[in-house]
């Protein structure tokens, strides 16, 4: 399919159509790649300080439009406004952080016999970034900011359900003075725009965030050209609660470790593993915490959880909670228009699909474990390995368990997974490569080694 089409973008809290977005066709992608190649050559030729200044200007204009971007995300994605303001500010901060990189990609001088050996960090060229619908602005920035800093051009394909904030960032980039065609947002279908990113020989790397199912297809397609990929895929993260932890705090924070963004988060701690001898007490503490989550109008400052993103996704989440599901308790959610789903706590058996499959909604499975070895085995009994939390006051146990759990991002006595200054990514089928942190720009470069022979006198 190469014909450009269009789709309606819907407010998930009201089910009202916000606008119609034109889709990019295959010919449009090819044209964008050609223009991006030319822009990239000019960008890479600029002095590092000039590129750094341009990224700071981009960050400044995002800062001036934080409220606009936040309100747009509230309408398009149903994110609570407080979360959306943080997300817009995060885009600014990521740009500011990586604006320091162009002047610090210094390469190395390596001692060798007979001459001088140096390395250069050469930009790849054109990078294709394919983003998901759950955190449109932030995840796009994780790709485009370090890629631009490393001297590349970037094409972004936002998710069809939630393209509006990314499209606006593309406009703000131009307004900030970033060179024309260097950063382009191409809304469209994954089967058209995304697949052309993968197949186009002049797109030298794909950054994909989404399902493991689609990620494997991206990886297979990229392999045909030995094209570089960074993949951030699914998760089924464990929140491990030991009997020696601050149980009240662990229970009070557990809902926010899984129900943030309505559970539409690859880092969601969607399995709570509780030591058996404190299981009943933990459940007593968890129930009021879950029922206290404020679910409602995402435009309201007091809202903590909004709707699911679409009716299609609502149906998917609902399929995990049939009428005979082992529901321990639920929170509240509005009735009427909107794709609302209440925070839901299940007490399933270990082999149940709610324990093994990624639900991507406000549904959490709570399971007991016997001892440390059992907790580790249960936490690792998944094809995923993205994130997780460990609750214990025992430092030695925290060290042992954090080294034993097969996941890329762990928190002890908290649920924090993502900081732009530290690396982020998964083990096993949760992905390949790392985003964020000080080394991210290097993943958008090739290392070139040059030896200069020195003649003896």
> How does pLDDT run across 186-206, given as a tens digit for each residue?
999 999 999 999 999 999 999
- pLDDT at position 2, please? 42
Is pLDDT of 213 > 90? yes
Torsion of CA 423, 426, 431, 436, to 10 degrees: -10
Tell which residue, 12, 79, 10, 294, has the closest CA to residue 69.
79
193 Cβ neighbours under 8 A, 6+ residues apart:
23, 24, 29, 157, 186, 187
Percentage with pLDDT > 70 across the chain: 99
Place of tokens 């001297």: 151
- Residue 425 burial (CB < 10 Å; 0-12/13-18/19+)? buried
Which of 73, 232, 304, 358 is catalytic? The answer is 232
pLDDT, position 416? 83
Is position 248 annotated as part of the catalytic site?
Answer: no
275-308 pLDDT, tens digit each: 999 999 999 999 999 999 999 999 999 999 999 9
Question: Which DSSP string do the residues of 417-454 spell out, in sequence order?
Answer: ---TTS-B--SGGGEES-BSSTTGGGGGEEEEEEEEE-
Helix axes 66-77, 136-149, angle to 10 degrees: 130
For residue 1, pLDDT beyond 50: no
Distance CA(431)–CA(439), nearest Å, equals 17
Average pLDDT, the chain: 97
Task: Report the percent of the chain where pLDDT is more than 90.
Answer: 98
CB 287 within 8 A of CB 330: no
Reading the block at residue 26, the tokens are 């295959």
Asked whether the beta carbons of 339 and 308 are under 8 A apart, the reply is yes
Q: Give the position of tokens 């503490």.
A: 285
Give the chain's domains with CATH numbers. Answer: 6-233+430-451 (3.40.605.10), 238-412 (3.40.309.10)
Residue 4: band (very low, low, confident or very high) from pLDDT cuts 50, 70, 90: low
Neighbours of 387 (CB within 10 A): 29
425-456 tens-digit pLDDT: 999 999 999 999 999 999 999 999 999 999 98
CA-to-CA dists, residue 75 to 89, 156, 164, 260, 313, angstroms: 17, 21, 9, 17, 17
Tokens of 211: 């399902």
């Amino acid at each position: 399919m190469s014909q450009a089409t269009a789709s309606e973008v819907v407010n998930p809290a009201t089910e009202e159509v916000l606008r119609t977005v034109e889709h990019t066709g295959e010919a449009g992608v090819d044209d964008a790649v050609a223009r991006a190649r030319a822009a990239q050559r000019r960008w890479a030729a600029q002095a590092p300080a000039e590129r750094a200044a341009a990224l700071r200007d981009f960050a400044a204009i995002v800062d001036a439009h934080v409220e606009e971007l936040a309100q747009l995300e509230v309408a398009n994605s149903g994110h609570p406004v407080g979360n959306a303001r943080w997300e817009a500010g995060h885009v600014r901060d990521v740009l500011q952080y990586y604006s320091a990189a162009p002047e610090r990609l210094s390469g190395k001088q390596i001692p060798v016999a007979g001459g001088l050996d140096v390395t250069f960090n050469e930009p790849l060229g054109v990078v294709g970034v394919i983003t998901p619908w759950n955190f449109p602005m932030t995840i796009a920035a994780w790709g485009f900011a370090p890629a631009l800093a490393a001297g590349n051009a970037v094409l972004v394909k936002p998710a069809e359900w939630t393209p509006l904030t990314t499209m606006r960032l593309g406009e703000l980039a131009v307004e900030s003075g970033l060179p024309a065609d260097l950063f382009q947002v191409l809304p469209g279908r994954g089967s058209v725009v995304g697949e052309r990113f993968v197949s186009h020989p002049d797109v030298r790397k794909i950054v994909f965030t989404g399902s493991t199912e689609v990620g494997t297809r991206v990886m297979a397609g990229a392999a045909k050209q030995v094209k570089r990929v960074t993949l951030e895929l699914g998760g089924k993260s464990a929140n491990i609660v030991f009997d020696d932890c601050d149980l009240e705090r662990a229970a009070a924070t557990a809902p926010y470790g899984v129900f943030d963004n309505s559970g539409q988060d690859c880092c969601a701690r969607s399995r709570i593993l509780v030591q058996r001898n404190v299981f009943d007490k933990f459940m007593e503490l968890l129930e009021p915490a879950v029922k206290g989550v404020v679910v409602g109008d995402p435009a309201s400052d007091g809202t903590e959880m909004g709707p699911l993103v679409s009716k299609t996704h609502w149906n998917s989440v609902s399929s995990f909670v049939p009428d005979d599901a082992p529901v321990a308790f639920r929170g509240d959610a509005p009735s009427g228009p909107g794709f609302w789903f209440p925070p839901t706590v299940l007490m399933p058996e270990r082999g149940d699909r709610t324990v093994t499959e990624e639900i991507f909604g406000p549904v959490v499975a709570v399971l007991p474990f016997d001892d440390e070895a059992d907790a580790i085995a249960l936490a690792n009994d998944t094809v995923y390995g993205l994130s997780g939390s460990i609750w214990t006051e025992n430092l030695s146990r925290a060290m042992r368990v954090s080294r034993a759990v097969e996941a890329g991002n762990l928190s002890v006595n908290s649920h924090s997974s993502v900081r732009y200054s530290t690396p982020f990514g998964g083990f096993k089928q949760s992905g390949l490569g790392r985003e964020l942190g000080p080394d991210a720009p290097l993943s958008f470069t090739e290392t070139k080694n040059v030896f200069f022979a020195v003649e003896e006198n």
